[in-house]
Amino acid sequence: MFAGKSVLELGGGMTCLAGMLAAASGTPSRMVLTDGNALSVSNVQVSLERNSLPSEVASRVLRWGAHDELLMHYGKFDIAMCADCLFFDEGRESLLCSLLAVLRPGGTAIVVAPARSGTFQMFASMCRPHFIVAILEKYDCVIEQYVRKSAMDAHYNENLHFPRLMILTKY
């Protein structure tokens, strides 16, 4: 899916793990790993250096909704991805605006997050005027097996722990 594509991870946190995995396995033509926190991006840079990822992989500070920062990336990406980025009420609109800014027409956003008391569905509703929205409940047999096992654990809470998958295609 990532081969030959320009890929951006938004809100990758201290590890940008999703983007690192995509960079290591999918040979994107360009991969930019971002977070709004400079300390997180510094940590990601150390990880990039220690893991000898290709020079096409870079880390940057990017704050959602920061017009000047987004202009640098306007319409440059085939794929944007974010994992567990929907939990702050005030951040969802900025995330949507950022996705709209960075993706090319026809570009794809991959959003993985738990339901978290409706935040996932709220974001999907916000996206519908701008994207074709597909929500996949069953997308990976390993995840399904893990969820079946975890359901027996008293600490497991599907609302907080089950990673839902949303694929957005920009109009």
**pLDDT, tens digit, for every residue of 103-121?**
999 999 999 999 999 999 9
pLDDT for the residue numbered 80:
98
- Each residue of 3-42: b (16+ CB within 10 Å) or e? eebbbbbbbbbeebebbbebbeeeebebbbbbbbeeebbe
Mean residue pLDDT of the chain comes to 94
**Phi, psi (degrees; rounded to nearest 5) at 68:** -65, -40
**In the predicted structure, residue 26 carries a pLDDT above the cut 80:** no
**What domains can be seen in the chain, in order of their start residue?**
6-170 (3.40.50.150)
> Coil, strand or helix: which one is 30?
strand
| CA dist., res. 12 & res. 63, Å (int) | 11
Question: Quick check: 85 and 19 in contact, CB under 8 A?
Answer: no
CA angle centred on 98, ends 94 and 96, rounded to 5° = 55
- What pLDDT sits at residue 52? 81
Rounded to two decimals, the pTM is 0.93
